[in-house]
Chains A and B, each alone.
Chain A
Amino acid sequence: MSGTAATQIGQLARRSVLRTLRQPSQIVPALVFPLFLLAVNSGGLKDATSLPGFPTDSYLTFALAVPFMQGALFSVMNAGTDLARDIETGFLNRLALTPLHGAALLGGLLAGAVVLGLVQAVVYLSVGLIAGADLAAGFGGALVIVALSVSITVAFGALGLFVALRSGTAEAVQGMFPLFFVLLFLSSMALPLELLQTDWFHTVASINPVSYLLAAFRSLLIEGWNLGELALGFAIAGAILAIGMAAASAALKTRLVRT
């Protein structure tokens, strides 16, 4: 990477991080809402642990994987909305008039998602452990959970950038949020895949990548070190990131029609 490109990424990343930290309206809901749902679900569904084959006797431990995914979905909205606002206000045109590399723009914008992902992961995990959740993989597992959470947050953030570049409006980005949430609900969010009895739901959840991302978190929380589950989780996060960045790069070329 050339010095210029590194400088550009660094400066845009700095801006993205500053923007994220200066908007409590982005950070607070992304922290509070998933934890609220965690409290509700772990209280209301705790009897599910008595089902034969349920992997743990603590529903809180099982459910603690979900906030990491919900937090990642917030990054779709936050990263995408920020970029869409740049398009709406003409800030993207300002950037386009500089010798800016497209990849630097996308990379810099995702830096905000990294910070948000870090803060979210640490808060979710800390609150979960304080509330009594297990962490079978120990301190090392906690670090991997944070790393996986950040990876997924960045991957979903790239999808947000794509939607922003395609649509050019913050409203369109925010309109995608419920669709991503449906993806979460149609997964093994509430029960392990093996215990989903309804055929169509089991089929959908089985092909839903979110189920395997949840499984990677749960492996560290419940089992300890399951390298297969972890590798699949990171691979899916990497694939979503690759697809998101490829789509966002293509959309950026269309959006930035500078000669």
Chain B
Amino acid sequence: MASRELGIEVEGLVREFKNGPRAVDGIDLAVAPGEIYGFLGPNGAGKSTTVLMLTTLLPPTAGAARVAGFDIVKQGGKVRSAIGAALQEAALDPLLSGSEHMRLQTALHGLPKAERSERSAELLARVGLAEAAGRKVGEYSGGMKRRLDLALALAHRPRILFLDEPTTGLDIQSRTALWDEVAGLAKEGVTVFLTTQYLEEADALADRVGIIDHGRIVAEGTPAELKAEIGRPTVEAVPRDPADRERVAKALAHFGEDCSEAHRGGASVLLAGGESQLADVVRALDAEGIAIERLQLHAPSLDDVFLAKTGRSLEGAGGGEADEPGSEEMEAVGTP
């Protein structure tokens, strides 16, 4: 029972809008206490609609959900008292300062007057806004606004935290700082439901990931489990001389099944023996005397999982292949 009181349970949750498609089409999921659950999907997949329902701001059309042990339809007030939420846009008042926001939030949540200032200062310091606390939010950067949003969500010490695309539009530095904060909260026992369209965010933060597309969960598991479902890593070699492509393909054929895409100008294979074969691949290409322009090891990513489950790549995935975790690139190896 104790675990239910700190987790999230969803069964057949549906939300239909008038004259529109089913934004959420019968999802089931369970988030364990202290877990970071990454809800990954492209724009319009149903992530935010799910969050609005779970935070009681939008009644479901069908299905049921319990958050912190409370029914989201029948016990909305109790759900709200147990959760904190930073919704998609950092909804802040540009005319108020950070500390004025905290003062309002702590008061509305009913914290005793004597505790409000202390709690506000503690949270502002925690998110690195102590020095900027007296400045109007209109002067804050995007990252500062998101951090204040997080501090506001934590004002009443919630047991469950909903973060709806908390790092969208932030630079890498701000994003990483927020990730650290979220990871720290989970270590303290806070259950985190995190929606994101960034693959690396789900990969880096989430204990488990649910991939949603067109309102349905198409895959769920730990990032490692999901990637393992897709299979082995691939290695791609692009010869310096395009005429050598066939020789490269022949050399790579010893290491696994061909998965070359003709338009990329090189040859690719699924490494039958895993990443440890990379050194052998380099030696084989060198032994053939082929000058290599680019050699890339591509471990399965959540984008591959998304591609495999939906038939298309995830929109809004940050960066290129080289930026994704699991990709390693080597320039011009095997020069004779």
Contacts and interface: CB of A to CB of B under 8 A. Distances in A.
B110 interface: yes
A93 B52 CA distance: 10
Interface in B50-74: 55-59, 72-74
B108 A99 contact: yes
Interface string B118-141: 000000000000000000100000
A97 B95 CA distance: 21
Question: At the interface, is chain A mostly helix, strand, loop or mixed?
Answer: helix
A90 interface: yes
Contacts of B58: 257
Interface in A181-199: none
Nearest to A10: B107
Contact of B108 (A8, A89, A93): A8
Contacts of B88: 90
Interface string B94-123: 011000100111011110000000000000
Interface residues of B, number: 33
Interface in A161-215: none
A91 interface: yes
B77, B107, B152: most-surrounded residue (chain A CB, <10 A): B107
Contacts of B104: 11-12, 14-15
B107 A7 contact: yes
Nearest to A23: B95
Contacts of B110: 4, 7, 99
Contact of A94 (B59, B74, B83, B87): B87
Contacts of A4: 110
A86 B56 CA distance: 19
A137 B74 CA distance: 58
B89 interface: yes
B280 interface: no
A94 B56 contact: no
A195 to B, nearest CB: 46
A199 B88 CA distance: 57
A223 to B, nearest CB: 43
Contact of B105 (A86, A96, A98, A258): A98
A144 interface: no
Nearest to B107: A11
Nearest to A7: B107
B176 interface: no
B108 A258 contact: no
A97 B55 contact: yes
Nearest to B158: A97
A215 to B, nearest CB: 38
A99 B93 contact: no
A79 to B, nearest CB: 15
Interface in B135-157: 136, 152
A20 B92 CA distance: 16
B83 to A, nearest CB: 8
B227 interface: no
Interface string A16-30: 001100110000000
A119 interface: no
Nearest to B81: A99
B148 to A, nearest CB: 11
Interface of B: 55-59, 72-74, 76-77, 79-81, 83, 85, 87-89, 91-93, 95-96, 100, 103-105, 107-110, 136, 152
23 contacts: A8-B108, A11-B107, A12-B104, A15-B93, A15-B96, A18-B100, A19-B93, A19-B95, A89-B89, A90-B89, A91-B93, A93-B57, A93-B91, A94-B152, A97-B55, A97-B83, A97-B85, A99-B108, A99-B109, A99-B110, A259-B59, A259-B72, A259-B79
